[in-house]
Structure formats: structure tokens, C-alpha cells
Amino acid sequence: MAEIFIKRYNEKNRNYLQQFTSYMEQYSGVKFHYIQKSPQVPESKALANLNHWAWLFAEFGLAPLHRQGAYGNFSCRKNDNTFFISSSGMVPEQKFSAEKYCLIRYCDKDQLTIEYHGKSPPSSETLMHYLIYQRRPDINVILHGHNTLLLENRKQLNLQQTSIYHSYGTKELATAASCLAEKENFFIIKNHGFVALGKEINATGQHTLDMLKRLIQLCQDRSA
């Protein structure tokens, strides 16, 4: 059912879903020291659901692909002190594989060190997720994607953004995003991408799609 919807949706709105990569910094790998504590990621139903939304984001052009993966990362809290996050360079696929995710217990933002459980290292934006979960104990889900049209139309959509541009995967970007996350559940990282926060995975994903619908409507109204 979802596939038919996506196909129709994409066909109808193809013109508006074109990706303009001018804003996007060339991806050149992770910028932290990653310490693998174990290769195992615990079983979780929530993780399969998170994967579903990662795949939907890719299909909708909210996490466009690049040579080494997708411009986007997705996480959900496991408990107070740990969270699951997509691995670095993950290409979202409809079929769920726990190997594409990591469990994070500890990050050291001064030593730029991240400890993880999983087969391959976590997303380059793991520190941002970590700091947001620390500052927002009320939220359990973070979906981070990239869509240039959304960035270009942020004012019309009434979206706040971080004040200064920071390079991806840096402590500065993570800190700026986590500060804004204290008061916003959907916001823009300047010249980079968007972040959606929520208590529950499906509601957070749906909120993002609602934002995309508003964006499409805006573009359609403009061309009418």
C-alpha cells in the first residue's frame, strides 16, 4: 500500500522533489574516533520501524543518496541512556537489517570519541543525536534529512534555523543543533538539512511528511 502511495506521490510531485545539491557539502567520511565495544546490536521492534521511515525518507527525496550512502541519519531511544542510530553511510532499504544500525551508550564531545555496539561505525552526526537526547529527555526519536527546497522555503514554512553554518559531523554543528532542539521539534540546520524530533517514531515521520506536503503545496501555489 505504502509503495503505491509513494509511486503516485512521486509521479505527481516529481518536479518539486528534484534535489539541488548546491548546498550540500561533499561527504568525506566520519570526523570522530569510534570505538567498537561489540559487533552486536540488540533485537528491537522499534528499530525495524525506524528503518521503515529511513526507507520512506529516501524514497521521498528527504535523504538523497550519495556515493557512500544517504544524506540522512535516524535514531530512536532505547532507554534513558542509550539509543539506536543508523550506521555511517547507510543506504536505506525497505528490508530491515539490524546490521545497518548501532547502539550508542557513550560519547565524549571533548575527546571526540564515540563508543558503539554494531558491525560498522555509527553516523557522522551521532554526537548531534546524543546531545539532543541529553537536552530533551521528553523525546525518543530524531530523524535528520536533507532537502534543498525545504531549506529554501523555511521562512514561508515558519521554520527556525541554526544561526551559523558549521561543517557536517562537527562538535559545533552538534552543539548548535542541540541548542535549537531545546525549543523546536522541527528545525533547519543552516545550509545543511532538517531535524525532526518526537516522542514516537510514526508520529515523527508523519510530521515530516506533513511538512513535505506543505512544501509541495507552497510550490504548487507559486506556479499556479
Contact residues toward Zn ion (CB under 5 A) are 193
Q: How far is the CB of 192 from Zn ion (least distance, A)?
A: 6
Provide the 3-class DSSP secondary structure of residue 24: coil
- Buried/exposed code over 153-171 (b: 16+ C-beta within 10 A; e: otherwise): bbeeeebebbeeebebbbb
Nearer to Zn ion, 193 or 205 (CB): 193
Residue 140 contacts residue 77 (beta carbons within 8 Å): yes
> Which burial class, exposed, middle or buried, applies to 53 when counting CB atoms under 10 A from its CB (0-12, 13-18, 19+)?
buried
- Residue 218 CA to residue 199 CA, distance in Å, equals 28
| Least Å from the CB of residue 175 to Zn ion | 15
79/163 with CB nearer Zn ion: 163
Shortest distance in whole angstroms from residue 223 CB to Zn ion? 29
Q: Which residue is nearest to Zn ion (CB)?
A: 193
Provide the minimum distance between the beta carbon of 168 and Zn ion in the complex, in angstroms, as a whole number.
5
User: Quick check: 17 and 62 in contact, CB under 8 A?
Assistant: no
Our CB check for Zn ion shows the closer of 77 and 146 to be 146
Which of residues 89 and 193 has its CB atom nearest to Zn ion in the complex?
A: 193
